[in-house]
């Protein structure tokens, strides 16, 4: 066996273990909340001693960082599926409902990720600069999408882009937070907050849209 093959196999085993640690941590967080996740509990579920985890994560905060970053990467992958819809849309309301529905649905289907992404449930922890980069990239993508809507005449061009994005984020993450805080175990299809996506988009367009536009649920995904 060549040295390169041996190194590749070690890297693969290392990454597989990292993925297992993250999956186990998410399992704990889903069951008991982000604050209940400890390296000791993760190690116990994996059947290893806690010190063994330090080979993969130097601290619990490092594991939080990994989960935070992965959450934003996965959320971005879900949102990028709407890029073609943005290009083709002739109905800003329908597009915004569709994109908001996709984002809220993803967050509610991944509550453990969402806890770290939208809240700060761990005393003393905040994401590192490197862990925050995927969130910044998705925010940049959102800004570019709203710029496109402005340029095509769907959103008021006199309004600063930062305001358009910030207000949108407050509204959509607010829906997510209300759902996770008040109806964490409700089915998405019967969630009263999920059902408010349409009215929230209508409210947003009433303030920032350039003309009345019908708002529908958009396509189911």
Mean confidence (pLDDT) of the chain:
92
Quote the pLDDT of residue 9: 86
**46-73 pLDDT per residue, tens:** 999 999 999 999 999 999 999 999 999 9
Q: pTM of the entire structure?
A: 0.89
Mean pLDDT, residues 204-211 taken together: 93
pLDDT at 63: 98
Tens of pLDDT, residue by residue over 120-136, are: 999 999 999 999 999 99
- What is the structure's pLDDT at 150? 96
Q: How far apart are CA 9 and CA 13, in angstroms?
A: 6
What lies within 8 Å, CB to CB, of 173 at 6+ separation is 118
What is the DSSP-derived secondary structure letter of residue 195?
Answer: G
Other beta carbons less than 10 A from residue 97's beta carbon: 22
Tens-place pLDDT, residues 97-120: 999 999 999 999 999 999 999 999
Residues paired with 155 in a beta bridge: 209
Distance, in Å, from the CA atom of 56 to the CA atom of 116, rounded to the nearest integer, reads 20
Is the pLDDT at 220 greater than 50? The verdict is: no
Q: Please give the pLDDT value at position 212.
A: 53
């Amino acid at each position: 066996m060549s040295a390169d093959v041996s190194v590749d196999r070690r890297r693969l085993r290392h990454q597989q273990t990292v993925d297992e640690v993250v999956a186990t941590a998410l399992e704990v967080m889903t069951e008991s909340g982000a604050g209940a996740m400890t390296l000791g509990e993760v190690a116990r579920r994996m059947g290893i001693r806690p010190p063994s985890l330090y080979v993969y994560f130097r601290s619990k905060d490092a594991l939080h960082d990994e989960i935070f970053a992965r959450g934003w990467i996965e959320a971005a992958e879900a949102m990028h599926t709407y890029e073609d819809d943005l290009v083709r849309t002739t109905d800003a309301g329908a597009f915004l409902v569709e994109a908001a529905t996709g984002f809220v649905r993803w967050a509610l289907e991944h509550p453990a990720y969402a806890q770290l992404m939208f809240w700060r449930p761990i005393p003393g922890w905040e994401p590192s600069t490197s862990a925050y980069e995927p969130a910044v990239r998705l925010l940049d993508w959102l800004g570019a999408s709203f710029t496109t809507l402005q340029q095509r005449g769907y959103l008021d061009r006199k309004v600063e882009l930062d305001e358009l994005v910030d207000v949108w984020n407050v509204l959509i993450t607010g829906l997510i937070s209300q759902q996770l805080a008040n109806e964490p175990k409700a089915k998405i299809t019967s969630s009263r907050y999920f059902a408010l996506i349409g009215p929230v988009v209508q409210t947003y367009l009433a303030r920032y849209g350039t003309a009345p536009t019908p708002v529908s649920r958009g396509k189911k995904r």
